[in-house]
Amino acid sequence: MTTFTFQMFLTFEINQITIKINKMKHSNKTILLVHGAWEGAWSWGETVPFLEAEGHKVITFDLPGHGEDKTPISEISLQLYADSVREELDKIAEPVIVVGHSFAGYIISQTAEDSPEYIEKLVFVASAVPYDGKPAVQIFKEDQGSELLASMIMSEDESYATLGRQAIKDVIMTGATDEQVDYALPKFVRQATKPFFEVINTGDNFEGVPKSYVETTKDRVISLTAQRLVQNETGISEVVTLEDGHVPLVTGPENLGKALNKIAIS
């Protein structure tokens, strides 16, 4: 091999190594998964392995009053939820892709408005997204295809709501097996209703954060029509469509993992 040929070969190898390193830096993301109403960190359990297999660092946690967290219902507010997300971001202290499922769309939006410093991108999965000062309950009321409010069982003082097994199977976890429903049912908590009625006034911070959406075509909590409405109202153009119900975390975790990975490295 001549000196010139060797130098060309060496240059090629160095360039290939550089490309691989840059690709790794681009592909390996830190992803914070925020669960929705009634749920807990457990609901992401089937999705996490698919994201980790792609090389991402994945973090889940329980919102106040959910999962293992025992915050009383009387103390729960939308701001408390958002502050708990910010606390997780502060622990990570590096750029993070924040994914919110369902009502968590409101929670991560509030976090982004309050403190966007560590947020690389917001990803909404079958989510309500705030616009025009509307509380989440108004988005569900205006959605003629939503069966959520009719499915909720309110406490006597209306401070919290629960869900029956049939509603969880048919409306919330559309497409889930009986085994999946039976696993999830005892983990669903009493959901504080106050956050549903609270308003987020989004501004420059929220608007300045890149956003993506994973829409679900068979959703009976927030219809596809309503999902596309909030996308248009908030200027979200990066969208991945899943032929699934409201909780692809459980009913289609591999496809959801692929969708989130696609968004993460885009």
Regarding predicted confidence, which is higher, 228 or 15?
A: 228
Confidence band of 266 (pLDDT split at 50, 70, 90): confident
Confidence band of 24 (pLDDT split at 50, 70, 90): very low
Question: Cβ distance 224 to 217 under 8 Å?
Answer: yes
Please give the mean pLDDT across all residues of the chain. Answer: 92
How far is residue 217's CA from residue 199's CA, in Å, rounded to a whole number? 27
User: What tens digit of pLDDT does each residue of 83-131 get?
Assistant: 999 999 999 999 999 999 999 999 999 999 999 999 999 999 999 999 9
User: What tens digit of pLDDT does each residue of 177-201 get?
Assistant: 999 999 999 999 999 999 999 999 8
Please state the CATH superfamily assignment of the domain spanning residues 31-264 in this structure.
Alpha/Beta hydrolase fold, catalytic domain (3.40.50.1820)
- DSSP assignments along 238-256, one per residue: EEEEESS-S-HHHH-HHHH
User: What's the first-to-final CA gap in the chain, in angstroms?
Assistant: 41
206-224: average pLDDT: 98
Distances in whole angstroms, Cα of residue 128 to Cα of each of 62, 69, 143, 161, 223: 19, 24, 11, 18, 10
pLDDT at residue 9 greater than cutoff 80: no
pLDDT at residue 136 greater than cutoff 90: yes
pLDDT at residue 147 greater than cutoff 90: yes
pLDDT at 22: 42
Question: Cβ distance 247 to 241 under 8 Å?
Answer: no
Confidence band of 11 (pLDDT split at 50, 70, 90): low
Regarding predicted confidence, which is higher, 16 or 202?
A: 202
pTM: 0.90
